[in-house]
Amino acid sequence: MERSSSSPSSLLPQDPSRPPQVARVEKSVSQGEHLALRKARLFFRRNLGGYLFLLPALVIFALFVWYPLVLGFIMSFQNVDMISPAVWVGWTNYRKVFSDPLFGIAWRNTLAFTGYALLFGYFVPIVLALLINEMRHGKGLFRLAFYLPVMLPPIVTAFLWLWLYNADSGLLNALLHLVHLPGGLWLENQATALPALVVVATWGAAGSTMLIYLAALQGVPASLYEAAEIDGSNLWQRIWHVTLPTIRPIMLLMLVLQIIATMQVFTEPFVITDGGPNNATMTVLLLIYNYTFKNADFGEASALGVMLFLVLAVFALIYMRMTSRLMQGD
């Protein structure tokens, strides 16, 4: 008796309604799925060690960054006093924050502080970097001298300038009296309190930004300077037509970063002026602090924090977009 050479699949009844093209497509899809699964397994095996090393950092990041962020968003819709269970109140906290007279004052002062910082503090590191870059001798000494304030803790810097601004025994007024100029009530005057804090913040942070610009200046091709010198350009023309256009992407990135940083100003008004005089230096973060630790209004503090987060998120997205474009350009 002859054994049939037909395969088991050939003995099964075939579906006459299914075209052969459909069967071939299903077979190719199945093979593609198996191939993708095999590649995924191979990729996971090769990178398992890296994922295990990355896992603790991800856990810490989720625990101390994402969890407080999500919890703060939830608390902004609740009445929280840390004693009794939280009660859902909807948009009540946001309405209370909007109706607070200090809300508009805090945002106005924060935006004014950011504007002053961009007007003065943004250009100081650029000028310092350009001056040090053009020096023939003593570059290391000046880099160290301008970077020293960055090494001081912010609270130490605040107390140092609190003494400098002292109207009775401060160094600033003493120097003015030496040259027969009247001293000022720098922190007691509403018109000068906020600019005085901008000076403190600029003095404490300009050194690190200056080093970033110095690093960017090292990447300017020397051939561009040589071509400019051949064309008879002076120092100012070389800076304006060669140096600044070359480091413009870094300048734009630092501009966005400075906006994000200055809108979160807290240490200087908290330590030096406590929001005064007459709320002239009350900022958004300081108002959040007052809601939380002075008034125990955790829901309102969370609501204001969510608002600040949304505003900063816009600038963060701009920064990420600019960074990706800069990397693609490189």
- pLDDT tens-digit readout, 210-267: 999 999 988 888 888 888 888 888 888 888 888 888 888 888 888 888 998 999 999 9
Its pTM stands at 0.79
The percentage of residues in the chain with a pLDDT greater than 90, rounded to a whole number, is 37
Q: Which has the higher per-residue pLDDT, 260 or 9? A: 260
209: closest CA among 128, 155, 154, 151? 128
Per residue in 169-220, pLDDT (tens digit) is 888 999 998 998 888 889 999 999 999 999 999 999 889 999 999 999 888 8
The DSSP H or E segment spanning 227 is: helix 222-230
At which residue do the structure tokens 């071939």 appear? Answer: 24
Confidence of residue 26 (pLDDT cuts 50, 70, 90): low
- Beta-bridged to residue 79, according to DSSP, are 87
> Which string of b and e fits 61-86 if b means at least 16 CB within 10 Å?
eeeeeeeeeeebeebbbbbbeeeeee
